[in-house]
Structure formats: structure tokens, C-alpha cells
Amino acid sequence: MDRLAPLQLFIAAAEAGSFSGAARRLDLGPVQASATIARLERELGTRLFERSTRRLRLTEAGEQWLPHARQMLAAWEDGQTALRGAAAQDQPLSGRLRVSLPSDIGRQHLWRWMEDFVAADGSTDLQLELRLSDRVTDLVQEPVDYAVRYGEPPDSSLIALPLAPANRRVLCASPAYIARHGQPATPADLRNHDCLRWVLGDSLHARWRFGSREGETVAVEVSGSRTVDDGGLVREWAVAGLGIAYKSGLDVAADLAAGRLVALLPDWLGEPAPLHWMAVGRHRLTPALRRLAESIRARCGALEASLARR
């Protein structure tokens, strides 16, 4: 393990571009991280990083060694997984579980599903830390072990377990809004409606895309009187009759089933919004963690089935 810690730190620093980011990711102090890398460089007999006040970048030697370091760490992780074997299949979740969740489905469903699994799995030695935010968490730089995310997995070192691979966005509004303003007949009609827009980071999600059953794709630039960076509030605004929302089907399934919202443009397919459980490294996907992800996938499937029946 003492040999692996510098490897993990080296890889984390290379991916984060800073010792401080790598230290946060691995729960180390910045001084300890810097000293560990310095010892590693002395042992290898070469500098791995070029340091400056503005940034940290790999030297040519560091670039050459990085794939070997990743290969060594991956081999260790694969070995760990093999050694767990059948004896570990029934072990419950334990230790600290730090997870970033999307705000809306996180508040509505995910935290409850996770608590149900913990209770049924017999997890008594578990510290659960949840972060509910629509901001995309950087699993490399931030002190979070896992993230549940909408969208296609990035091309990176992250490992993705599909939770709802066929999920799509649903255009919807409340019966009260429809009574006052009517329904759009085509995607282009959305330009004449009050659309509830959502912000992620510095990007405004105001270009809504739809696909026809015949394969046609249409993108509409929408506008509206309300904008927010919290997907849960978009749904609440829609339920309150304040506009039209374009939400993940998982987020609005319960509202559609209860009649609080009505699906619009049924002849058009919403944008794909697959949901994944993301982790850094295979070693974090323990048998218990995989059982948790499979449990959440089954719950997502039940919500998707309720949407299909409508």
C-alpha cells in the first residue's frame, strides 16, 4: 500500500493539474502531497512535473511514465477485485460513501432508494455523505467518490454503470397552464410559450431538441420569464403553472402519473437523458456498490415503465 499511494497521487495530480486538487481528492494535506511526489521523483531519478505558481504540468518523463503508472494501479485494482471473490459478494456497504446526486431526482427519489437499500442490505457501519447539485462534480479534484449523472459518460478514466440508459426528456406543463395558454402543436410553437429554462454552470439550456418518429430532428430556441440553476425548482415552477418544462422523464414521472403535469407533443421524442452511476477506478465498484447501482436501476426501470404506459 505504501508503494501504491505515490502512484495514486501521481495519477491524480496529472489529471487534476495541481497538487492541491489531487490532495483534496485523496484526503491528504498539500504539504504531504508535495513531499510524496518529491520522494517519488527521487526514487525514479527524474522530475515528473514542471512546477510554477500558475500551473502544474507533466515533464516529458512524466508523460512517458503516466500510462505505466495507470497500468500498475489498474493491475492492483483488478487483483483486489479478484481476491474479494465470492466471499465478498454478500458483504454490506461500509465505511464512507460520498456521492454527488442531481438535485431533482436526488431529492425526490435517489436518497430514499439509497436508504432503502442500506436498510435491506444490513449496512450498519456506513457513513453516507450526499451532495445534491446540478453542477457537474469533478470526481478527480473534489472529495467525492461517486456521482450520479445525466448524459453520456465523458471519454475519461471514469467508470460508468448505466442506471437508465433509455431515459429521455419530456416536455410538460400543468393543467392550469394549458387551460390559460393552450398546448403547442409543434416544437416551433414553443417560441410563443413561457418556457422554464435551466442553467448548468455558465451555460443556459435554452435550445430544446426533439426527434420525430420518422427520424427528423428539430431544435428550437426558447425563451421565458424564469431561469434557474436548480432542476428541482424547474419542476416545481411547472407544477405551479408558471410555464412549460423540458425535464428528464425520471424527474416528472410521478407528477405525470398524478396528473400534476401533462406530457406535450406526444408525437415528438425528447432529447436522450441517460442516467449513470460514475466512479473513478474499478476498485471502487465493490460487489455491494454494484448491488446498490442495480437496485437503483430497477427503481428507475419502474419509473420508465410508468411513463411508457401513458
Q: What is the DSSP letter of 240?
A: T
Q: Is the alpha carbon torsion for 111, 112, 113, 119 positive or negative?
A: positive
pLDDT at 88: 54
Residues 84-109, mean pLDDT to the nearest whole number: 80
What are the domain boundaries of the chain?
Answer: 4-84, 87-164+274-308, 169-270
Q: Do domains 4-84 and 87-164+274-308 have the same CATH topology?
A: no
pTM value is: 0.71
CATH fold of the domain at 87-164+274-308: D-Maltodextrin-Binding Protein; domain 2 (3.40.190)
Alpha carbons 192 and 223: distance in angstroms, whole number: 9
Convert the pLDDT of each residue in 178-199 to its tens digit: 999 999 999 999 999 999 999 9
pLDDT of residue 19: 84
Q: CATH assignment of 4-84, given 1.20.950.20, 3.40.50.300, 3.40.50.980, 1.10.10.10?
A: 1.10.10.10
Degrees to nearest 5, angle at CA 98 with 95 and 104: 140
The predicted model gives 121-134 an average pLDDT of 86
**Assigned architecture for domain 169-270:** 3-Layer(aba) Sandwich (3.40)
300 within 8 A of 167, measured Cβ to Cβ: yes
CB 153 within 8 A of CB 276: yes
| 204/223 Cα distance (integer angstroms) | 11
